[in-house]
Amino acid sequence: MKTLAISASALFVIIAIPIAVGFLLPKRHIATRSTFIAQPCADVFKLISGPPVWRDDVSGWKELAPTDGLYTWNETTRNGDTIAYQRMRSEPPHLFVTRIADPSLPYGGTWTFAFEESNGGTLLRITEDGEVRNPIFRFMSRFVFGHSSTIEKYLTNVSAHYGQKSEIKQ
């Protein structure tokens, strides 16, 4: 019986600490990463602003009817999650801003893609202005995955599309 009580207490602590820490962490975060792509800005902009069929983490894509007058689409991930996105701003070939359009998700926010001509190619910088609403996800995002992990994966996919190895910078 004593072992059961100790095990139950340990389990409670293992669950309670991440929840408590998650509640103490801010909901909002900003993360920025960049990489150089040896392609013109217009080409990289066209790739990113079009259907994400080139990304290895996306298994499906579907254009939706505009929402609030904004271009809207769904992306389905390899694990089956479907997320709606909206284009907030588009200034080819230098700026593209998207946001997660589903407020019921435990996370949300915008991604700002900045395309800067550099050394005959493009310096691509992605800034995530994110919000993690669920305290457990907040803990995981901050201490397990990192706020920039999705940006880094995305930049790696862009580089791979062009046959490059990604050198990601903060």
Distant-in-sequence, close-in-space partners of 149: CB < 8 Å, separation ≥ 6: none
Residue-level pLDDT at 34: 98
- Tell me: the pLDDT tens digits for 17-34? 877 877 888 999 999 999
Cα torsion through 119, 45, 77, 81, rounded to 10 = 130
Give the pLDDT confidence of 135-160 residue by residue, as tens digits.
Answer: 998 888 888 888 899 999 999 999 99
Residues 66-80: what's their mean pLDDT?
Answer: 93
Residue showing tokens 């089956």: 80
3-class secondary-structure state, position 144 = helix
**Mean pLDDT value across residues 74-95:** 95
Walk me through the domains of the chain, giving residue ranges and CATH numbers. Answer: 2-161 (3.30.530.20)
